[in-house]
Amino acid sequence: MDNAELAIGIDLGTTNSLIAVWKDGAAQLIPNKFGEYLTPSIISMDENNHILVGKPAVSRRTSHPDKTAALFKRAMGSNTNWRLGSDTFNAPELSSLVLRSLKEDAEEFLQRPIKDVVISVPAYFSDEQRKHTRLAAELAGLNAVRLINEPTAAAMAYGLHTQQNTRSLVFDLGGGTFDVTVLEYATPVIEVHASAGDNFLGGEDFTHMLVDEVLKRADVARTTLNESELAALYACVEAAKCSNQSPLHIRWQYQDETRECEFYENELEDLWLPLLNRLRVPIEQALRDARLKPSQIDSLVLVGGASQMPLVQRIAVRLFGKLPYQSYDPSTIVALGAAIQAACRLRSEDIEEVILTDICPYSLGVEVNRQGVFRHFLADY
C-alpha cells in the first residue's frame, strides 16, 4: 500500500482537534504523544520562542495569556491576528500548527508519512472560511482532498449502524459553532436534506456568560482583573461547566482571596436563556428547509462536547419528544466520520459503499459592483 492509500480524517475543532484512520475495517482514533485522543486547539510561545501546541500550551493560557492563542477557528475567513511574543499569526497559520502536530502524531503512530486527508468544517462555514481551512492544511504539509461538513461526518459514522429509511437530525454544538443537519439514510445512500447553523454560538459563549455572572455576584469589575487572573477565572468556570454537576460549584481566586458561588439548574436556565433560544433558530430553519415536522424525525444525534450540557439536551428533547441516540462519544464521532469518508473516497475494499449527497449551506448569486447589489439565484439548499 502506498502513502496515498491511507484514509485519514481530521476534526479541526474550536477547542479540541482529533485525527483518525480507517484501518482493519474500522475507523480508529490516533492518540497524540501524551496518549490522548483530544489535542487542545491552543498555541503558545515559550521563553525561548519555541512553539507549544496542545496540552503543553493549556496551562500557559492562564500563566502567559499574552503569549497564548485559542479559539482561532472562529476567526477563519477574517484578517484577525494574534501576537505571541515577538511573532504575529493569523487563524490559518495557528490552525496549521495544530494540524502539523496531528500529522506528526499520526506519522509516529502509523510509522508512515501522511499527505492526503479529509478535514471536517462547520456546515455553515463560508467559502472564505473553507479556503482558509485548505490553506491551513497546505501550511501543515497536508493536502485536504475534501472538506466534509461536521454534522455530515457524524452522520457517516452513525449511518454505518443505523436502520434503513431513517430520518435523523444531527445537533452539533461544539466549542465555538452550532450546526443542524437533517439527513435520510437509505443504504447505501446518505442524503442531506437541509443544513442550518450559527458560526458564533458554542460552549465558549455559555462559559463567557457564566463568567460575567460570577463577576457580577462577586461585585468585581472585569477591568480589575489582569490577563492571568481573568484566564484563571475562565478555566475555573469552564471546568465547573463541563462537570455537568447540579448545583454548579465554582471556586476562584481574587486578590489572594478565595471566592465561591453556586448555580442551580433553574438559575443557569434563566442566565443562558438567550443562548438556549438561539439554538432553536437553526433547528427550525433546517426543519423548514427539509419540509419536515419534529415528529417526522426518527432519531436525534447529539454531537460536540457542549451538546452534553443537561440544559442543552433538555431543549433538544423538548423540541423532538425523544431521547438522543447515545451509543457513541459525541466528542470523537466527527473525526471517525471524516476517516470513513476518506476510506470511501479511496474505495477501500473493507468498507461498505456509501453514497453521500450533501448540499451547499449558503446562497449563491451574482454581485453587481456598480450598484452594490447581491441577487441570489440559488438558495442555500
What SS3 state is found at 292?
coil
Distance CA 161, CA 173 (A): 22
Cα–Cα distances (Å) from 38 to 99, 190, 244, 371, in that order, read 13, 28, 19, 48
C-beta separation of 144 from 131 below 8 A: no
Residues in CB range of 314: below 8 A, 6 or more apart:
none
Distance CA 21, CA 368 (A): 45
What SS3 state is found at 194?
strand
Residues 278-314 as b/e (b if ≥16 CB within 10 A, e otherwise) read: ebeebbebbbebbebeeeebbbbbbbbbbbbbebbbe
**Using alpha carbons only, how large is the chain's radius of gyration in Å?**
21
Distance CA 90, CA 112 (A): 30
C-beta separation of 154 from 226 below 8 A: no
What is 239-286 written as a DSSP string? HHHHHT-SSEEEEEEETTEEEEEEE-HHHHHHHHHHHHHHHHHHHHHH
C-beta separation of 173 from 202 below 8 A: yes
The catalytic site residues sit at 11, 73, 150, 172
C-beta separation of 341 from 146 below 8 A: yes
Distance CA 196, CA 360 (A): 10
C-beta separation of 180 from 286 below 8 A: yes
C-beta separation of 217 from 261 below 8 A: yes
C-beta separation of 310 from 159 below 8 A: no
